[in-house]
Amino acid sequence: MKTWGFVQGTRRQSRVSNWKDPDELKEVLDLEVRRSGSSHETILQLVKQVINYSVTIGHPYFLNQLFSSVDPYGLAGQWLGDVLNPSVYTYEVAPVFTLMEETVLAAMRNILGYTGGDGIFCPGGSIANGYAINCARYHKFPQVKTKGLSSVPRLVVLTSEEAHYSIKKMASLEGIGSDNVYLVRTSANGKMDVQHLEQLVLRAIEEKAVPFMVSATAGTTVLGAFDPIDEIWEVCSKYKMWLHVDAAWGGGALMSKKHRHLLSSIEKADSVTWNPHKMLAAPQQCSTMLTKHEGLLSQCHSASAQYLFQKDKFYDTAYDTGDKHVQCGRRADVLKFWLMWKAKGSEGLEKHVDTLFDNAKYLTEAIRNREGFELVVHQPECTNVTFWYLPPSLRNSRHTPDFAEKLHKVAPLIKERMMREGTMMMTYQPHKHLPNFFRLVLQNSSLNRDDMDHIIYEIERLGRDL
Amino acid sequence: MKTWGFVQGTRRQSRVSNWKDPDELKEVLDLEVRRSGSSHETILQLVKQVINYSVTIGHPYFLNQLFSSVDPYGLAGQWLGDVLNPSVYTYEVAPVFTLMEETVLAAMRNILGYTGGDGIFCPGGSIANGYAINCARYHKFPQVKTKGLSSVPRLVVLTSEEAHYSIKKMASLEGIGSDNVYLVRTSANGKMDVQHLEQLVLRAIEEKAVPFMVSATAGTTVLGAFDPIDEIWEVCSKYKMWLHVDAAWGGGALMSKKHRHLLSSIEKADSVTWNPHKMLAAPQQCSTMLTKHEGLLSQCHSASAQYLFQKDKFYDTAYDTGDKHVQCGRRADVLKFWLMWKAKGSEGLEKHVDTLFDNAKYLTEAIRNREGFELVVHQPECTNVTFWYLPPSLRNSRHTPDFAEKLHKVAPLIKERMMREGTMMMTYQPHKHLPNFFRLVLQNSSLNRDDMDHIIYEIERLGRDL
């Protein structure tokens, strides 16, 4: 039976990537555009090279990021969207996708526990977090939309030191400034310290600044920690601050009866970022920003452009939802996720999520019991598994003064070998005072327990002589 | 010969859209997601409905927006990108697309006339304009990134009253405030009045505000006007302001020796927005922000997240370009455009652009000479063609007091008929003091002169009894 190349590429015995250093890759790949076009033969050759030298995100051993795999329904949805090539701003141009967005966003809010509310699809979780900051600010100071920040006191956003960097980036972009993102301390397993949160709120108030928003995280990027939403909400209520939950990564757990307790009280949040392209494995990109405040997205972002949102159209222009966004043209990212959801049902998505958590648990125990491996977080809450590998040469030198320095170099070296051989992709990073450790993240439910064992063997194979 | 459904759908005799009012469409289309999944038969049926009730953007008579058509190379590029499902932030995850972005952005800057500089792909032109505002602000006041706007005087952006609404939207989002976007008057054909620009700059200075940026437009949304870049640059130089050119729409003309004079002096701009998904007909979305300031994008936006942009990687991490963006995960929008450019060559893109302008010119003359039609802009510069259609009942009542009011209602009625019959899609809008007029925009070079004639006949057919 003939199988498409990209399906072959996702077989376990295939390479995850075919590494070339930047200079080498420039040599083999003719990327230059020219005055004259190329023949179809040349184009086909180039396409084969693009495939060959790209990382196979759909490979089971691509464990490097908070997204992976290529879901077949999701892919069909992408392809279909490409053919239709819509831009979702008005009902007349995108009737099906306007209604589809409404349906899917309502279903997601329903799962959160909101009654009513509103939502939008965004180009990624960073932008979704940016929307939340802007909505929170508008909610407190609607004049910012027209008068700008020069009309209000200094504003402060609070989030944990393990929150995603987009909170700082978006605070910079939105004129708040990254120094005005106050970073709350976290526990060893990565959760926000709510006492410290309140201290920072009081500090901001003392400074005559206005702390207007807390961004809690449900599934931090590195350790996969879930901040205590209910306790944070108490502080927000007390000081009249907007509660945002960045559940870009951990939101998927809401689909599971077994794991949704991790996000308990999320229905109290004013807004939530939730990316189906992460734990639910929809293709890149599929991100949402959901809020319980009906009408706010539109009030905060609308510009009522007459050339697009004419009010004398022959249909109900409440369906022209584009003005809720700061983007004008916008892809129908809803389609791929809708198709997945339709095909698998909520129970299919639940099974997917439960498999990920089962695999993470199995791997965690296997690492706990394996000589030379050490867990960073001993009881991980999410499907991030973080660990050090100690080659035999390091195992008896834990108490020597340069141990941490030596351990710090192990992960980068194993990563290099992994990349050059193309057998697996997994990331590493330092964290606070901790030396480099591996972090793998599971979102691909086609992996099984044998794969978890394989991951351990592969790290050992690559690193035991170090 | 068997032809795919979506190719059939782009034949002239097919419908552009199969209109249903929102409530009707909700009835026929089962969008709801449920606990249980659906059979493949059901899914296939749903997919057919999605196609059937979506607007066929690839249809020759979809003339409604600043984008249209489905380029076959572009589509192949989209499909390929979907299969590879990359996120372009680090070289290790997206080696090919990192280098491809570098190559294509450099080629685009070269066409602008920049030597060196930098650039990024953005999710749409609005966000690209937002990047430009943030870079301009950072260039003047780098402390805004960390300290926020409370550390600087009130800032003012200047743009014309016919500029795209994203300038105001992004100024609101970025904390500048839409009232601090000073709108410069335009001439009857839509060009920025440079004398008035200078008056507004002086007003801002008098008010003790800091006018830090002018956003000129190369191809306005409605009339397709090109602002006089060189004269605006003179004012910018004099008052030390950043010159941005929003060439999202008109940028495509740079590919044509015959038409690139419309953007002459664009190489003097500090930054440029240019969307290949508009005039060059790449699929949605393909937008770029280009700047002559090397290193600035990174300085302005980087957060140096340790989990992603580790500095102890084994390759040259200058290729980890993700930190130039405020987005984290990001699609490889470059691929579709690169494939088109490779296949057609710059000369193919030039021929495409020249065809659009030829058609626009032919149509303009046809309208000028046709009874009952009247041009809004008599010598359009771009491929926007704007006109009124006067049904016979109105032709002799030009001087009656309610003429404008009656004319204002004609375009919406014809549009409704057009939509309900599904024969064509073209937009209308009022503009300043002018009553509703039609605006069609050409980006699909598979249209020919017969199509231009057809457009006129079709408007007459739909509207002559009004």
Arithmetic mean of pLDDT, B316-324: 94
Select from A31, A37, A97 the Cβ nearest to the Cβ of B103.
Answer: A31
Predicted complex ipTM: 0.97
Strands A155-160 and A210-217: parallel
Task: Kindly determine whether residue B149 and residue A148, on different chains, have CB atoms separated by under 8 Å.
Answer: yes
Phi and psi angles of residue B127, each rounded to the nearest 5 degrees, phi first: -65, -35
Helix (H) or strand (E) segment spanning residue A337: helix A334-368
Q: What is the rounded average pLDDT of the residues B191-196?
A: 98
Residues 6+ apart with CB under 8 A from B409: A312, B436
CB spacing of B319 vs A20 below 8 angstroms: no
pLDDT band for position A3 (cuts 50, 70, 90): very low
Provide the token pair at B466: 């009004």
B377: its two tokens: 């802009």
Q: Are A444 and A69 in contact (CB under 8 A)?
A: yes
- Compare CB distances from A145 to B29, B134, B172 and report the shortest one's residue: B172
Which of B78, B179, B285 has the CB atom closest to A329's CB atom? B285
Q: B128 near B287, Cβ under 8 Å?
A: yes
Cross-chain residue pair A65–B87, CB shorter than 8 Å: yes
Give me the residues paired with residue B271 across strands: B244, B291
Count Cβ atoms below 10 Å from residue A13 Cβ, excluding itself: 6
Q: Which of A290-299, A382-391, B182-191, B305-314 has the lowest mean pLDDT?
A: B305-314
Q: What is the DSSP letter of A185?
A: P
Among candidate residues A383, A337, A282, the one with its CA nearest the CA of residue A68: A282
Neighbour tally for B39: CB within 10 Å? 9
CB contact at 8 A, B265 and B254 = no
A360: phi then psi, degrees, rounded to nearest 5:
-60, -40
Determine whether the interchain pair A35/B429 forms a contact, defined as Cβ–Cβ distance below 8 Å.
no
Higher pLDDT, A308 or A50: A50
- Scored b (16 or more CB within 10 A) or e, A185-211 reads ebeebbbbbbebbbebbeebeeeebbb
In Å, how far are A195, A236, A243, A329, B183 from A232, measured between CA atoms? Answer: 9, 6, 8, 36, 43
- Whose structure tokens read 């076959």? B72
Residue B26: its chain A contacts at CB < 8 A? Answer: 99
Residue B346's pLDDT is: 98
Closest by Cβ to A79, choosing from B79, B123, B331: B79
pLDDT tens, position by position, B262-304: 999 999 999 999 999 999 999 999 999 999 999 999 999 999 9
Instruction: Please answer whether residues B68 and B282 qualify as being in contact, where contact means their C-beta atoms are separated by less than 8 angstroms.
Output: no
Question: pLDDT-derived band of residue B6, with 50, 70 and 90 as boundaries?
Answer: low
Confidence at residue A1, expressed as pLDDT on a 0 to 100 scale: 40
Buried b (16+ CB within 10 A) or exposed e, B356-376: bbbbbebbbebbeebebbbbb
* pLDDT, mean of residues B248-270: 98
Q: Cβ contact (<8 Å) for B147 and A179? A: yes
Q: What length does chain A have? A: 466
pLDDT band at A145 (very low <50, low <70, confident <90, very high): very high
Q: In terms of Cα–Cα distance, which of A230, A266, A222 is closest to A246?
A: A266
Find where tokens 């970025």 sit. B174
The encoded tokens of residue A454 equal 């394989």
Strand ranges (DSSP E) for A50-174? 62-63, 118-122, 155-160
Question: What is the mean predicted confidence (pLDDT) over A307-315?
Answer: 90
SS3 A217: strand
pLDDT at residue B1 greater than cutoff 50:
no
- Asked if the model's pLDDT at residue B235 lies above 50, the reply is yes
Alpha carbon separation from B332 to A33, A170, B129, B290, B326 (Å, rounded): 17, 22, 19, 17, 15
Distance in Å, alpha carbon of B23 to nearest chain A alpha carbon:
10
What's the first-to-final CA gap in chain B, in angstroms?
A: 43
Integer CA distances (angstroms), B24 to B29, B50, B83, B282, in order: 9, 14, 35, 33
Confidence (pLDDT) at B281: 97
Nearest-angstrom CA–CA distance, B332 and B87: 7
Q: Which residue in the block uniquely carries the two structure tokens 């757990």?
A: A253
Query: Quick check: B176 and A97 CB within 8 A?
Result: no
Strand order in the sheet with A62-63: A62-63, A425-431, A434-441, A384-389, A373-375
**CB atoms A314 and B436 under 8 Å:** no
C-alpha dihedral sign at B57, B61, B67, B71:
positive
Residue range B415-441, pLDDT digits in tens: 999 999 999 999 999 999 999 999 999
Which one of A3, A82, A313 makes the best mutation probe of the B interface by having the most chain B beta carbons within 10 Å? A82
Query: Between A and B, how many residue pairs show a Cβ–Cβ distance under 8 A?
Result: 442
Lowest mean pLDDT among A1-5, A246-250, B106-110: A1-5
**pLDDT surpassing 80 at residue B198:** yes
> What digits encode the pLDDT tens for the residues A339-377?
999 999 999 999 999 999 999 999 999 999 999 999 999
Q: Which amino acid belongs to residue B150? A: S
Does B146 contact A64 at a Cβ distance shorter than 8 Å? no
Distance set, CA B147 to CA A33, B170, B432 (Å): 42, 19, 40
Cβ contact B165–A328 (<8 Å): yes
CA distance A83 to B70: 7
Joined together, the tokens standing for residue B65 give: 């927006």
Q: Cβ contacts (< 8 Å) between B103 and chain A: which residues?
A: 31-33
Find the closest chain A residue to B130 by CA distance.
A173
| Residue type, position A117, single letter | G
Rounded CA separation A322/A88 (Å): 7
Average pLDDT over residues B132-152: 97
pLDDT band at A4 (very low <50, low <70, confident <90, very high): low
Distance in angstroms (rounded) separating the CA atoms of residues A411 and A290: 38
Query: Read out DSSP for B24-54?
Result: HHHHH------SS---HHHHHHHHHHHHHHS
Contact B429 A307 (CB under 8 A): yes
Mean pLDDT of A168-185: 98
**Whether the predicted pLDDT of A88 surpasses 50:** yes
**pTM flag (> 0.80):** yes
CA distance B266 to B110: 12
Residue range A113-126, pLDDT digits in tens: 999 999 999 999 99
Angle in degrees, CA B350, B385, B229, rounded to 5: 60
pLDDT band at B331 (very low <50, low <70, confident <90, very high): very high
Interchain pair B166, A326: CB under 8 A: yes
Partners of residue B45 in chain A, C-beta under 8 Å:
none
Structure tokens at B439: 């605006």
Chain A positions touching B53 (Cβ under 8 A) are 95-96
pLDDT of residue B293: 98
Task: Choose the closest CB to A347 out of B36, B104, B277.
Answer: B36
Contact A48, A29 (CB under 8 A): no
Percent of chain A past pLDDT 70, that is, above it, reads: 98
Give the H/E segment covering residue B291.
strand B287-291
| Mean pLDDT computed over B138-160 | 97
Nearest CB partner across the interface for A429, out of B87, B306, B338: B306
| C-alpha to C-alpha distance for B103 and A421, rounded to whole angstroms | 27
The partner residues of A119 in beta bridges, in order of sequence, read A290
Closest by Cβ to B58, choosing from A85, A307, A310:
A85
Closest-CA residue of B relative to A169 is B326
When pLDDT is averaged across residues B8-33 and rounded to a whole number, the result is 94
- B453 or A8, which is more confident? B453
pLDDT average, residue stretch A96-103: 98
Report the residue from B29, B93, B326 with minimal CB separation from A96.
Answer: B29
- Three-class secondary structure of residue A225 per DSSP: coil
Arithmetic mean of pLDDT, B453-460: 98
Across the range A79-98, mean pLDDT stands at 97
Chain B residues with CB under 8 Å of A93 CB are 55, 57, 64-65, 425
Q: Which residues of A touch B123 (CB under 8 A)?
A: 123-124, 127, 327, 330
Report pLDDT for A389. Answer: 98
Cα of first residue to Cα of last residue in chain A, in angstroms, is 43
Q: Tens digits of per-residue pLDDT, B31-62?
A: 999 999 999 999 999 999 999 999 999 999 99
Q: What's the confidence (pLDDT) of residue A9?
A: 81
Contact A22 B53 (CB under 8 A): no
> What would the two tokens of residue A292 be?
């319980």
Residue A114 is predicted with a pLDDT of 98
Q: According to the model, what pLDDT value does residue A6 have?
A: 55
Q: B41 vs chain A: nearest CA distance in angstroms?
A: 10
How are strands ordered across the β-sheet holding B384-389? B62-63, B425-431, B434-441, B384-389, B373-375
Chain centroid to Cα B311, Å, comes to: 37
Strand segments, DSSP code E, in B179-253 are 181-184, 210-217, 242-246
C-alpha span between A18 and A30 (Å, rounded):
17
Q: Which burial class, exposed, middle or buried, applies to A412 when counting CB atoms under 10 A from its CB (0-12, 13-18, 19+)?
A: middle
Read off the tokens for A460.
């050992």
Assign B8 a pLDDT band (cuts: 50, 70, 90): confident
Distance, in angstroms, between A362 CA and closest chain B CA?
24
Report the C-alpha gap between A321 and B94 in whole angstroms: 33
